[in-house]
Amino acid sequence: MQDIITFAATGDSFITRKLPVKTASYKEIAGIINQADFRFTNLEVTLHHNEGIPGAESGGTWAMGSPELLSDLKNYGFNTLAWANNHTLDYSIDGLKATEKYLNKSGFVHAGAGQNLAYASEPRYLETDPGRVALISATSTFHESWVAGEQRPDMMGRPGINPLRYKTTHQITPENMNTLKQIASTTYINAAQELSIKEGFLLRRTDEIFSFGDYLFEESKEEGQTTTPDERDMERIIRSIKQAKRQARYIIVSIHAHEMRKGDKELPAQFLEKFARRCIDEGAHAVIGHGPHVLRGIEIYKNRPIFYSLGNFIFQNDTVPYLPTDFYEKYQLSHTDNVADALDKRSKNNTIGFGTNHKIWESVIPVWTMEKGELSELKLYPVELGYGKKRYERGWPVLSDNQDILQRLAKLSEPYGTQINLEGNIGIIRLKEHTTAI
């Protein structure tokens, strides 16, 4: 038996309305996806019939769609879904439970959220003819109350997402540190924190890091910012990878991460690069990133692909059926206003925001083959989602001949030593044409 398997992946599927499943463009996309044995997307909405209540916090838009929309994803050919992201608890725990119920009924293999931390973080398995594939899903972008809780002998766990937390530290010169400490002293910004330490509700730091409110600073000759993955979460995800290595032939890790570097959302934060490479070091065969709604570079690390972001696959955040009062109040609207009013206000009548950025509406679908656990070839199919169209006309992918998409992705991938060649309207990565970035 040959040890050869094919994978297809997409970025975010923020789906809120039915897709044109009978069109030629839909069938073209489905044909590409169905080349693969493992077919993946990130589900970035809750799916239920108003069974959840809107959370006090959301991922930006309270994301909800009908469970019937899962059939459109199924018709594309997807068989695996990640759903650890910044919208998983937009409709609180009941919304999570309802979404999980409909996912279970749909037959998708899904990972990243569940009734407690053990369920949210465990590998889920897809049976394919070439071999069993494990999917592990996590997110670094979430509200702190959304983290799944660990079960104890004397206390139930908490439903939620599988988190990848991280630490951000800002480096400043000694002179600026002295100024910052003076400001902290005169403004009492750390007063509540100091009291909590004295009363035993917080532990005092034992390192050289200075807290300025919720922000951490350290002295350095060169000023900047560093991010590192939380070791607790890193070790838990590694345990899942090690478990999956004994239970499946291939392991895929999904990570939802908005976090960026130097204010540029096309560049992944440092902790994300460290996380992805460590997952590969521990045995993952690919890391699939998504979250910032734009493409990020591709790294081939130890002959295995890391997609730092695949951007959007379906993006219909402007056609959610309902929004809670919190959204209207945020934009100073009243109870007599409606969803269309709220979305117009947010975008200033489509003069700012996602609708004005063509990169939000351009992406790729990678299809790659692995032989004996290593990448042999990776194809990149560019797609567009309807930039410039009205909100009810855009949001689903069609194949594109716009080579600017592949050229931009190639430029973003260059720092990782990855070379993307264009053959017609398809991008190609072959192992002999790049070097591994360490």
Q: What is the pLDDT of residues 188-226, one digit of tens each?
A: 999 999 999 999 988 888 778 999 999 999 999 999 999
Vertex 146, ends 296 and 194: CA angle to 5°?
100
Dihedral angle over CA of 234, 236, 240, 243, nearest 10: 120
Sorting pLDDT into bands at 50, 70 and 90, what band is 433? Answer: very low
The pLDDT of residue 208 is: 85
One-letter amino acid at 364 equals: V
The pLDDT of residue 1 is: 54
CATH no. for 4-149+231-322+353-430 = 3.60.21.10
Average pLDDT over residues 45-73: 97
Strands of the 286-290 sheet, one edge to the other:
124-128, 131-139, 250-256, 286-290, 304-307, 298-301
Which has the minimum average pLDDT: 155-159, 336-340, 349-353, 429-433? 429-433
Task: Assess contact for 63 and 90: CB atoms under 8 A.
Answer: yes
Sorting pLDDT into bands at 50, 70 and 90, what band is 340? Answer: very high
Average pLDDT over residues 418-436: 81
436, pLDDT greater than 60: no
C-alpha span between 252 and 430 (Å, rounded): 20
The pLDDT of residue 434 is: 44
Sorting pLDDT into bands at 50, 70 and 90, what band is 435? Answer: very low
C-alpha span between 293 and 290 (Å, rounded): 7
Task: Assess contact for 272 and 387: CB atoms under 8 A.
Answer: no
The pLDDT of residue 437 is: 40
The widest CA-to-CA distance across the chain, in whole angstroms, is 72
pTM score, whole prediction: 0.94
C-alpha span between 358 and 383 (Å, rounded): 12
Task: Assess contact for 320 and 393: CB atoms under 8 A.
Answer: no
Portions of the chain given CATH number 3.60.21.10: 4-149+231-322+353-430
Average pLDDT over residues 354-381: 97
The pLDDT of residue 207 is: 78
Give the orientation angle of helix 270-282 with respect to helix 231-247, to 10 degrees: 30
Q: What token pair was written down for 133?
A: 């594939």
C-alpha span between 230 and 165 (Å, rounded): 5
Give 235-256 pLDDT, tens digit per residue: 999 999 999 999 999 999 999 9
